[in-house]
Structure 1
């Protein structure tokens, strides 16, 4: 009986661990480019948060726009087609990414004014698309 309960507990744990996110089938080169871009984005978000914590609001806005905002879009255009993530993403996934760039630019515009309180209020929008996309999609 104890073995049965252990087996049921294991089965329950495995079922809960199943990844229910939608698989975005990207060619291997595009997966690698996207993976590196996401790692770079994590570093950029950390830099923005650090600058905000240091009270360097305008600088946080400049970094956000340059590295994550609309200004950062299209950096893979010169790569071979199979290494460009965007064209291989499901349309909704691509849309989330574009919305994320736009939200970052909105944050950046507010931060560049130096208004710390308004910029802080925009910070959750800076990461909302990241969370939404990573929660909804996977590439492996």
Structure 2
């Protein structure tokens, strides 16, 4: 009985939290929204793999992956798509800026990791993930 009561309370609080979502709505065309969603899922996988590589002591490999998937080298992956399928031009300017900051942070991490500087790479890793947190904490697409 206690479990059901706790589950009901959790559901009520979750519903209240969703109703009070104060993040800014970024209205993107459906194709751009889908492209952004796919990119964010890919980024999540990349961050997980980067952390796995770092934990395994494969620092240079983590840096190479960070640059190719998240760094400045990864920018512009949607430029060949039709305008309505490109997320960047439809984002609020501050949201776009956070995304750019994330690419820069990923490249900074990557440079340190590729040099084999594990301590510097670890010190830079929170800056990379902070860009993700800042954007997801501030913006939503639905």
Fold match by TM threshold 0.5: yes
Structure 2 counterpart of 1:43: 45
The Cα offsets for residues 24-64 of structure 1, whole Å up to 9 and x where unpaired, read as 00000000000000000000001110100000001100000
Tell me what 2:89 maps to. Answer: 87
Superposition TM-score, scaled by structure 1 size: 0.89
Alignment TM-score, normalising by the size of structure 2: 0.88
Distance (whole Å) between structure 2 residues aligned to residue 91 and residue 129 of structure 1: 15
Runs of 4+ in 1 over 6 A off after TM superposition: none
The partner residue of 2:128 within 96, 108, 126 is: 126
CA deviation string 1:81-120 (max 9, x = no partner): 0000000000000000000000000000011111111111
Matched residue pairs, number? 131
What's the counterpart of residue 111 of structure 1?
113
Name 2:102's counterpart in structure 1. Answer: 100
Alignment correspondent of 2:6: none
Once the two structures are TM-superposed, the CA of residue 15 in structure 1 deviates from its matched residue by 4.6
**Aligned pair 1:55/2:41, yes or no?**
no
User: Could you tell me which residue of structure 1 aligns to residue 4 of structure 2?
Assistant: none
* Matched ranges for 1:24-43 at <5 A: 24-43=26-45
Does residue 76 (structure 1) correspond to residue 67 (structure 2)? The answer is no
Structure 2 CA distance for partners of 1:78 and 1:131, relative to 1, 3 Å: same
**1:106 & 1:118 partners in 2: Cα distance?**
10
Partners of 2:87 and 2:65 in 1: CA distance = 23
Distance 1:120 1:16 in 2: 33
Q: For residue 115 of structure 2, give the secondary structure of its aligned residue in structure 1.
A: coil
Q: Which has the larger radius of gyration?
A: 1
